[in-house]
């Protein structure tokens, strides 16, 4: 059927459109969309979609760049009759014909201020953006943002639907919009994003800790490149099992820990979950990291599902690849899909050094938010730490205290002991503080309540430059474990 928008639209510029009939049933109006997590200098994909075509493109953008996403939901959902363009008095047609129509939207995107780039997606309705997009633009402050419009349609191009919107956010920088068919490939979408030079990977201040925000029992957080906040002190749970693990998690939460590091191969994800649940602290206030082991990389979806089932906390805050290995890129890409589905919030890797990370990055879409590597005063790995920081990747130390079976020498090191005595602190506390002062996250493992409390009581002193240099001089390049 060939229709012209002038048949039912008062728009200044009639657009000839071949429109298929009839519109499929839209999905029922979902619950209000949760506010996206704030990110620094990164992108947010805001979209409106009745029959999920635009949603599909929005999802591919999110997957391509790891952006946050927010759905525009009208207060009153559109029924298929509302969308019936063959009926000149259908709701959609009436709204498109009424210059003052502004359909109410369910909620406000609270965290918009935290994003620099806003991708704005909509279906073409009679050559134009639906009026609900006008409502969104008029009810949000987009000053200083870069707006990238994109649309889907049956056959029309984007026409003037994007430029018509400019007057609704005059203080924004508008990029030229682009129309996609519903089945547009991810590669095309990625090339389009790359071509705009949006500077999405601005790493300014990424990974720099503000230790003045910390108090004993209350570690500061660092903003990951995914936009989520992560405490910079956590409890490592390697080798903790059964009641020991559950009690260590509960003791740590009571002492103020809010981050836990586990892994499928540790066999204690259920105990970590039990500890979190029994602590009484809401799950949303806790950050749980787990890892896929190389023998799981060939069937990563099953492995991720198993982690989700065992942890049973709704979503995983951070998932890492435990080591490089066959199929690691495949496993990471599976994790990327779970990020897009909202089941994993942030992803990263472990035991990746300069060569490994440089080879890995071009093969994946979402930059790892974090790399977890062996780091302690006898194995400082400074070059790797600096390289990762330059890439805007947070570094986390495993074996911060030298690792089980290796603490004796490290914790009685004469230089560290003297520095510790000078601050009336333990050697363990000095080591953990040294890590934080070089912007390295720590996850000391412990099942001893006194040690647990000690390990998060490192915010009432600081090491001088001279002490930092003395510790730097202890490096022996002595690795205590490979993986
Ligand atoms: N990605 C990887 O490949 C990898 C590899 C290894 C570890 N990790 C992760 O990193 C975490 C940390 O490593 P880790 O637990 O093996 O070694 P670690 O944190 O270097 O050392 C843990 C040992 O230090 C002792 N300890 C803890 N706090 C202490 C304190 N304040 N004073 C004296 N001793 C103290 C603990 O004994 P008590 O229980 O008696 O306190 C335990 O024996 C692991 O739990 C795991 O989550 C990852
Ligand atoms: C009221 C209405 C008007 C439409 N007008 C056009 C049009 O002018 N040109 C066109 O190619 N498609 C038109 N379409 C089709 C939609 O743009 C297309 O199906 C779009 O991909 C739907 O996106 P969604 O699934 O995200 O809601 C119209 C659809 C509706 C409901």
Distance, CA of 62 to CA of 68 (rounded, Å):
7
Q: At residue 25, does pLDDT exceed 80?
A: no
Of 195, 225, 260, which marks where a domain is finished?
Answer: 195
Assign residue 336 the CATH number of its domain. Answer: 3.20.20.100
**SS3 category, 439:** coil
CA proximity to 335, closest of 360, 300, 309:
300
Q: Above 50 in pLDDT, residue 16?
A: no
Q: Rounded to the nearest whole angstrom, what is the distance from the C-alpha of residue 404 to the centroid of ligand 1?
A: 6
- Report for 22-31, 186-195, 446-455: range of highest mean pLDDT: 446-455
308 and 353 in a single domain? The answer is yes
Contact 241 CB / ligand 1 (< 6 Å): no
| Ligand 1 atom at minimal distance to the Cα of residue 262 | 47
The reply to whether 434 falls in a domain is yes
Higher pLDDT among residues 27 and 326, named by residue: 326
Q: Which of 51, 52, 125 to mutate to test the pocket of ligand 2 (most atoms within 8 A of CB)?
A: 125
- Atom 23 (ligand 2) nearest CA: 123
Compute CA distances 213 → 218, 232, 235, 347, 459, whole Å. 9, 11, 19, 25, 9
Asked whether residue 414 is assigned to any structural domain, the reply reads yes
Q: Which ligand is nearest to the CA of 325?
A: 1
Q: Is the pLDDT of residue 209 over 80?
A: yes
Give the per-residue pLDDT at 376: 98
pLDDT for residue 65? 83
Does the beta carbon of 457 lie inside 6 Å of ligand 2?
no
Residue with CA nearest ligand 1 atom 41:
446
Report the nearest atom of ligand 2 relative to the CA of 154: 11
Burial 132-144 (b: 16+ CB within 10 A, else e): bbbbbbeebebee
Cα(54)–Cα(47) distance, integer angstroms: 7
Report the percentage of the chain scoring pLDDT > 90: 79
- Whether 172 is in a domain gets the answer yes
In a domain, 391, yes or no: yes
- Which range has the worst mean pLDDT, 109-118, 198-207, 452-461? 198-207
CATH number, residue 114: 3.40.50.360
Specify the pLDDT at position 28. Answer: 52
What pLDDT was estimated at residue 348?
97
- CA nearest to 268, candidates 311, 299, 315: 311
Q: Which domain holds residue 55?
A: 2-195
Is-contact 23 123, C-beta < 8 A? no
85 and 160 in one domain? Answer: yes
Phi, psi of 227 (to 5 degrees): 100, -10
- What backbone phi and psi angles, to 5 degrees, belong to 396? -125, 135
* Atom number, ligand 1, closest to the C-alpha of residue 401: 20
Q: Say if ligand 2 is within 6 A of residue 38 CB.
A: no
Domain shared by 189 and 236, yes or no? no
Q: Is residue 180 part of a domain?
A: yes
Instruction: Count up the domains in the chain and report the number.
Output: 2
Query: Mean of the per-residue pLDDT values for the chain?
Result: 90
Domain boundary among 146, 167, 195: 195
Residue 481 lies in a domain: no
261 lines ligand 1 (CB under 6 A): yes
Q: In the structure, how many helices (H) and strands (E) does the chain have?
A: 15, 18
For residue 125, report the distance from its CA to the centre of ligand 2, in Å: 5
Residues 184 and 257 in one domain: no
pLDDT at 110: 86
| DSSP code for 71 | E
Supply the residue whose CA is at minimum distance from atom 20 of ligand 2. Answer: 153
Residue 415 sits at the vertex; the CA angle it makes with 412 and 420, to the nearest 5 degrees, is 75
- Report strand pairing: 16-18 vs 2-4: antiparallel
The pLDDT confidence band at residue 390, using thresholds 50, 70 and 90, is confident
Contact predicate 351/322, CB 8 Å: yes
* SS3 of residue 17 by DSSP: strand
Is residue 336 within 8 Å of 364, Cβ to Cβ?
A: yes
189 and 242 part of one domain? no
Ligand 2 pocket test, pick from 126, 129, 130 with the greatest ligand atom count within 8 Å of Cβ, gives 126
DSSP 299: S
pLDDT computed for residue 208 by the predictor: 86
- The answer to whether the CB of 59 is under 6 A from ligand 1 is no
C-alpha dist (Å) from residue 202 to 41, 114, 450, 475: 6, 14, 41, 32
Residue 23 confidence class, pLDDT cut points 50, 70, 90 = low
CA-wise closest residue to 392 among 263, 227, 262 = 227
What is the average per-residue pLDDT within 186-198?
Answer: 90
Does residue 445 contact residue 220 with C-beta atoms inside 8 Å?
Answer: no
> Could you tell me which residues are beta bridge partners of residue 245?
none
| 184 shares its domain with 220 | no
Atom of ligand 1 nearest to the CA of 373: 1
Half-sphere exposure of 228 (CA within 13 A, CB side): 25
pLDDT band at 41 (very low <50, low <70, confident <90, very high): very low
Ligand nearest to the CA of 184: 2
Distance between Cα 361 and ligand 2 center (Å): 38
Question: Which active-site residues does the annotation give?
Answer: 266
Counting ligands in written order, the one closest to the CA of 237 is 1
**The predicted structure's pLDDT at residue 153:** 97
Identify whether residues 134 and 216 lie together within a single domain: no
Atom number, ligand 1, closest to the C-alpha of residue 376: 20
Evaluate the CA torsion angle 134, 138, 140, 145 in order and state its sign: positive
What distance in angstroms lies between residue 193's CA and the mean position of ligand 1's atoms? 42
462: left (phi over 0), alpha (psi -120 to 50) or beta: beta
Annotate 282-297 with DSSP letters as a single string. Answer: -GGG-EEEEEE-GGGT
Our mutation pick for probing the ligand 1 site, out of 251, 319, 375, 401, counting the most ligand atoms within 8 A of Cβ, is 401
Distance between CA atoms of residues 34 and 127, nearest Å: 30
In this prediction, residue 206 carries a pLDDT of: 64
The residue assigned the tokens 């925000």 is 213
Q: Which of 436, 452, 410, 388 is nearest to 260 (CA)?
A: 452
10: pLDDT strictly greater than 70: no
pLDDT at residue 9 above 70? no
Residue 202: inside a domain: no
Could you list the beta-strand ranges (E) of 403-478.
440-442
Domain assignment present for 236: yes
CB 116 within 8 A of CB 125: no
Q: Stretch 407-431: mean pLDDT, rounded? A: 97
- Ligand 2 mutation pick, 83, 89, 153, max ligand atoms within 8 A of CB: 153
The CB density around residue 429, as the number of other CB atoms within 10 Å, is 20
pTM: 0.66
Whether 146 and 253 map to the same domain: the answer is no
- Structure-block tokens of residue 341: 């589905």
Q: Are residues 284 and 174 in the same domain?
A: no
Residues 438-446, mean pLDDT to the nearest whole number? 98
Tens-place pLDDT, residues 269-328: 999 999 999 999 999 999 999 999 999 999 999 999 999 999 999 999 999 999 999 999
Identify the domain boundary among 165, 195, 225. 195
- Whether residue 172 is found in the same domain as residue 216: no
Please give the Cα distance from 70 to 475 (Å, whole number): 47
pLDDT at 73 over 70: yes
Query: Is 53 in the same domain as 77?
Result: yes
For the chain, the C-alpha Rg in angstroms (whole number) is 26
Q: Say how many Å lie between the CA of residue 386 and the centre of ligand 1.
A: 23
Name the percent of the chain lying above pLDDT 70. Answer: 90
| pLDDT score of 408 more than 50 | yes
Same domain, 240 and 363: yes
**Residue 251: CB within 6 Å of ligand 1?**
no
For ligand 2, whether the C-beta of 50 sits within 6 Å is yes
- 228, 288, 214: which is closest to 256 by C-alpha? 214
For residue range 135-186, what is the model confidence (pLDDT) as tens digits?
Answer: 999 999 999 999 999 999 999 999 999 999 999 999 999 999 999 999 999 8
């Amino acid at each position: 059927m060939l229709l012209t928008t002038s048949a039912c639209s008062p728009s200044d510029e009639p657009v000839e459109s071949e429109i298929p009939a009839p519109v499929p049933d839209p999905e029922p109006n979902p619950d209000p969309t949760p506010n996206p997590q704030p990110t620094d200098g990164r992108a947010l994909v805001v979209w409106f979609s009745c029959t999920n075509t635009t949603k599909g493109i929005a999802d591919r953008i999110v997957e391509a760049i790891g952006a946050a996403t927010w759905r525009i939901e009208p207060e009153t959902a559109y029924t298929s009759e509302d969308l019936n363009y063959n009926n000149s008095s259908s709701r959609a047609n009436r709204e498109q014909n009424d210059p003052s129509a502004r359909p109410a939207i369910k909620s406000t995107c609270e965290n918009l201020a935290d994003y620099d780039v806003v991708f704005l997606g909509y279906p073409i309705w009679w050559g134009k953006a639906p009026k609900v997009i006008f409502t969104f633009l008029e009810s949000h402050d987009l000053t200083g943002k870069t707006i990238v419009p994109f649309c889907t349609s049956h056959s029309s191009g984007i026409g003037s639907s994007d430029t018509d919107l400019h007057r609704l956010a005059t203080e924004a920088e508008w990029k030229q919009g682009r129309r996609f068919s519903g089945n547009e490939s991810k590669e095309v979408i990625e090339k389009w994003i790359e071509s705009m030079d949006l500077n999405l990977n601005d790493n300014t201040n990424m990974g720099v800790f503000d230790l003045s925000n910390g108090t004993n029992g209350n570690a500061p957080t660092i903003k990951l490149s995914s936009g989520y906040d992560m405490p910079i002190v956590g409890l490592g749970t390697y080798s903790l099992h059964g009641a020991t693990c559950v009690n260590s998690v509960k003791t740590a939460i009571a002492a103020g820990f809010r981050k836990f590091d586990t892994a499928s191969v540790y066999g204690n994800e259920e105990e970590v979950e039990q500890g979190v649940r029994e602590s009484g602290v809401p799950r949303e206030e806790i950050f749980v990291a787990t890892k896929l082991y190389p023998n799981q990389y060939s069937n990563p979806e099953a492995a991720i599902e198993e982690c989700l089932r065992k942890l049973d906390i709704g979503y995983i805050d951070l998932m890492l690849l435990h080591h490089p290995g066959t199929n690691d890129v495949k496993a990471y890409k599976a994790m990327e899909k779970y990020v897009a589905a909202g089941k994993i919030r942030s992803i990263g890797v472990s035991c990746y050094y300069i060569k490994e990370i440089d080879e890995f990055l071009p093969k994946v879409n979402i930059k790892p938010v974090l790399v977890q590597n062996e780091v302690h005063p006898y194995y400082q790995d400074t070059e790797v730490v600096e390289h990762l920081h330059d890439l805007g990747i947070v570094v986390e130390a495993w074996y911060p205290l030298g690792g089980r079976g290796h603490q004796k020498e490290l914790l009685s090191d004469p230089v560290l002991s003297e520095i510790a005595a000078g601050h009336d602190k333990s050697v363990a506390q000095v080591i953990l503080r040294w890590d934080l002062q070089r912007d390295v996250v720590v996850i000391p493992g412990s099942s001893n309540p006194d040690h647990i409390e000690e390990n998060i009581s490192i915010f009432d002193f600081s090491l001088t430059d001279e002490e930092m240099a003395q510790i730097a001089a202890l490096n022996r390049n002595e690795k205590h474990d490979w993986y």
